[in-house]
Structure 1
Amino acid sequence: MSAEEKPIASVWTRPQPRQREQLTREQIVAAAIELLDAEGIEALSMRKLGTRLKAAATSLYRHVANKDELIQLAVDDVFGELHMPVSAERGQWRADVTCIATELRAMSLRHRWLAAELGQVGLVHIGPNAMRMAAGLLAQFEVAGFPADERDRAMGTLTAYVIGIAASEAAYLSLIARSGRTEQEWVAGLRPAFDDASHQYQRLREGSSAQQDLPPQQIRDDDFAYGLERVLDGLNSRIGT
């Protein structure tokens, strides 16, 4: 077998070191997630993580080959926070998918580094928690009556919407956090500049004025719910085709 034909190595299929090791993979991943949540993806390094765990970086390499593998493990670990419906029922599929999508967004906002990494983690889809989510969504689309050749696409459409929205929100919230302001303060501070820049665009000013008394988080929640409903409306039209 040539180098080009060799299967891609996976952290999920490689045996873990024996438990006599000072650290476990679970401890390493948990510490990595804490670091990622606190300081972002740029701050993650094997050396810094080793310091956090009071262990030499070399001991971490017994469990993960490199930083990319560690991120794969961290991503899948946070997917384990999702609560999937126990079973799929035809009359309940839309409500269940809405719950999954809403939880996926909330999870992505708790771990703001996540959404931007999902497109770069090549083997995340074979992690056990991500696979559980995917299998659960496919079960919902199957019981709803989606054509067999469209279930994967329906799942991809839904998750692309959720992760896309979450990536934008996470970047926005991270920017606000770095400013030291609350979201309410940040939005209020931007308003004078927006009003000045949009004075020639009446429709923009009207839309902004209609929402100026609403809490920014409510606006984001309402916008997400609106978009999700429209995505599900479109998917619903494919049932039975």
Structure 2
Amino acid sequence: MVSARRTSVWLEGKSPRARKADQPSGLDREKITEAAVRLLDAEGLAKFSMRKLAAELNVTAMSVYWYVDTKDDLLELALDRVVGELAIPDTGPGTDWREQLRQLATSYRELFVAHPWASSLVGHFLNIGPRSMEFSRTAQQVIANTGLPLHLQSGAMASVFQFVYGFGTIEGHFRQRCAEAGMTQDEFFQHAMGIVREQPTYKENFEHAERMMEARGGDTVAEMRERDFQFALDVQIAGIEAMVVPDA
């Protein structure tokens, strides 16, 4: 029986085993994880099951359990797998921390847009897989490169990456909702705004919001969202710069 107190597949999960004679040829943990990511992307977290995964691989569920103990273990592996898609900047001497931070933030946002299911798993697991740890080490180094004193660095990381997490999660879920409705993002947005404008309380609650959307510019949802993201990231970077004490 698997203990309810298990912490991470990276600490307590079974190690990949050699294939038994009666196991399907060509099956390994990496291929199982890749198939899990494809299924999660296609159907989402709520519909994901080991039975569906086994069918995707054309094997029995017991064949999958030869390589992972639990569904949670596989989800943790899948999360680390997609974190490996993040672009990792060079943080060596002579590099600009602002550009490093922009690259990391942009890539982190893209992760949640491409894989909406991942946002539900971040924080649920310890995120100590090799790819997640590489991202974490790089983010820590970038924040250290800002010149912030050590006691402020964790707060700066939280400010930037929790903002990006929220932004990317909402964006990913919106894109998924549009796809489920069979609409483009612009079609869905215009449809939703049309319904809102018909409400009796529109003038009181939404006119100012609509003027703000018009003022920020952009002809499409993607353009408006990009302007918002870039400005919000500018605010984050300016805030860090303001907190750095100049060398005496």
TM-score by length of 1: 0.88
Q: Secondary structure at the match of 2:243?
A: coil
Residue of structure 1 aligned with 2:147, choices 145, 148, 151: 145
Tell me if 1:46 matches 2:50. Answer: yes
Q: Within 5 Å, which residues of 2 pair with 1:4-19?
A: 8-13=6-11, 14-19=14-19
CA-CA distance at 1:230 after TM superposition:
1.0
Partner of 2:108: 104
Q: Secondary structure at the match of 1:26?
A: helix
The amino acid that maps onto 2:147 is G
Identical-residue share of aligned pairs (%): 28
Tell me if 1:182 matches 2:188. Answer: no
Q: Take 2:170 and 2:180, find their aligned partners in 1: how far apart are those partners?
A: 16
CA-CA distance at 1:237 after TM superposition:
2.2
Partner of 2:126: 123
Q: Within 5 Å, which residues of 2 pair with 1:72-221?
A: 72-89=76-93, 92-120=96-124, 122-124=125-127, 126-197=128-199, 198-201=202-205, 202-210=207-215, 214-221=219-226
Q: Within 5 Å, which residues of 2 pair with 1:52-63?
A: 52-63=56-67
Q: Secondary structure at the match of 1:63?
A: coil
Moved more, 12-21 or 50-59: 12-21
Q: Take 1:235 and 1:110, find their aligned partners in 2: how far apart are those partners?
A: 28
Q: Take 2:96 and 2:131, find their aligned partners in 1: how far apart are those partners?
A: 23
Contact 1:77-1:129 within 8 A present in 2 as well: yes
Tell me if 1:26 matches 2:30. Answer: yes
Any gaps of 5 or more consecutive residues in structure 2? none
Partner of 1:69: 73
The verdict on how the C-alpha distance between 1:38 and 1:149 changes in structure 2, with shifts beyond 3 A counting, is same
Q: Secondary structure at the match of 1:43?
A: coil
TM-score by length of 2: 0.86
The verdict on how the C-alpha distance between 1:213 and 1:164 changes in structure 2, with shifts beyond 3 A counting, is closer
Partner of 1:36: 40
Any gaps of 5 or more consecutive residues in structure 1? none
How large is the Cα RMSD of the aligned pairs?
A: 2.3
Residue of structure 2 aligned with 1:230, choices 219, 228, 235: 235
The verdict on how the C-alpha distance between 1:238 and 1:220 changes in structure 2, with shifts beyond 3 A counting, is same
Contact 2:7-2:126 within 8 A present in 1 as well: no
The amino acid that maps onto 1:167 is T
CA-CA distance at 1:154 after TM superposition:
1.9
Q: Secondary structure at the match of 2:46?
A: helix
CA-CA distance at 1:9 after TM superposition:
4.6
CA-CA distance at 1:78 after TM superposition:
0.5
Contact 1:80-1:129 within 8 A present in 2 as well: yes
Structure 1 residue ranges, 4+ long, deviating more than 3 angstroms after superposition: 19-22, 88-91, 208-213
